[in-house]
Amino acid sequence: MSDHRISNAAFAPATRHLLLPCAGLVLATLAWAGNAVIGRDLRHLYDPLQLTFYRWSMACICFYLINFKDIGAELKYVRRNISRLVMGGICGMAGYHLLQYYALARMPASEVAVIIGMTPVTVTVAEAFLRRAWPAPTVMLGIALGLVGVWLVCHGNGPAASRDALSWAGIAAAVAAMLCWSFYSMRVTRCEGLSPMTTMFCMAFVSSAVLLPFFLYDVAVGGTSVPTLRSGAQLLYLGIPASVVAYALYDRGIERVGRVTGAQFNCLIPAFASALAALFLGEAITERQIIGLFSVVIGLNVVVLRKSREMSNSRTLGRVEK
């Protein structure tokens, strides 16, 4: 009886310890899913270049305002990480979101989210190719489930032959965004001497600086819409909750529960985006698409968990060899 009470007492603090970071990870994935929905909703007011610039210029200012002391103290480490910061700003922020918003202007948010959500599969296949080794059978099963799910979601409302050129252009942009984020995930890791918030500020600054001349030319030639109360709030959402708040919650969450668990929460983004798109944009969800979303989420989790097990085994083997 006493042992039972002791085990329960030990278990309760651990549960409370994990509750807040897990809630933060859920909120982060919801915020990123909301980014897809709002990007789709704003397609008639702002082109992809303007959306991307507005988002990261606002995020850059916010990152600086909430972390300017640490940013000033850590500037000496920027030079040694300059290549990663530039690559992250161009590829992981400017390039990825430019392609994502281009895709959202041409196809439903649910389809864009599910295609881009296959990033863990792309990274796994690329790493296997670089190692010149086939992925494990379990990983292949997860990849197959994910691909079947993508096909069901993207063709849930009709056959592929019914798609027009704009829709196919959106699919191409979504695939390019997925590849862009995969490259960023594989090549850009944490920067030495820089906190996550300082790293995000530097990448957002690079992204804004790179996009600025193109943005000015775009506005001079085609103009831009004056924000209304609704569209202004949506732009603020892209720059603050979907960028600053979401990345802060995600970084804090993975510090507590680990990157593997954090990656599992990311697998929910396609499902969250589809639900939010149905709720706020009126996008239809068919039974085939629901089955497809389940298939994608299960397939991504199979890939992530198997990959984490392989990494754990390799670290264990390395310690044994030492």
Tens digits of residue pLDDT in 172-222: 999 999 999 988 888 776 788 899 899 999 999 999 999 999 999 999 999
pLDDT at 4: 42
Taking each helix axis from N to C end, the angle separating 287-321 and 137-154, rounded to the nearest 10 degrees, works out to 160
> What would the two tokens of residue 61 be?
């200012």
> Could you give the count of Cα atoms lying within 13 Å of 280 in the half-sphere of its Cβ?
19
Report whether pLDDT(34) > 80: yes
Average pLDDT, stretch 298-310? 79
> What would the two tokens of residue 318 be?
């390395």
> Is the pTM above the cut of 0.85?
yes
pLDDT at 138: 86
- % of residues, the chain, pLDDT over 70: 87
* CB of 304 closer than 8 Å to CB of 121: no
The length of the chain is 322
Q: What share of the chain is helix, strand, coil (3-state, %, to 5)?
A: 85, 0, 15
Residue 98: which residues within 8 A CB-CB, separation 6 or more? 48, 49, 52, 211
> Ranked by mean pLDDT, which of 3-12, 86-95, 122-131, 186-195 comes out on top?
86-95
Cβ atoms within 10 Å of 20's Cβ, excluding its own:
13
pLDDT, one tens digit per residue, over 114-151 is 999 998 888 888 877 887 877 788 888 988 999 899 99
* CB of 184 closer than 8 Å to CB of 88: yes
Residue showing tokens 């897990």: 22
pLDDT band at 314 (very low <50, low <70, confident <90, very high): low
* CB of 54 closer than 8 Å to CB of 273: no
Cα separation, 81 vs 65, in Å, equals: 22
**Sign, Cα dihedral of 105, 47, 123, 259:** negative
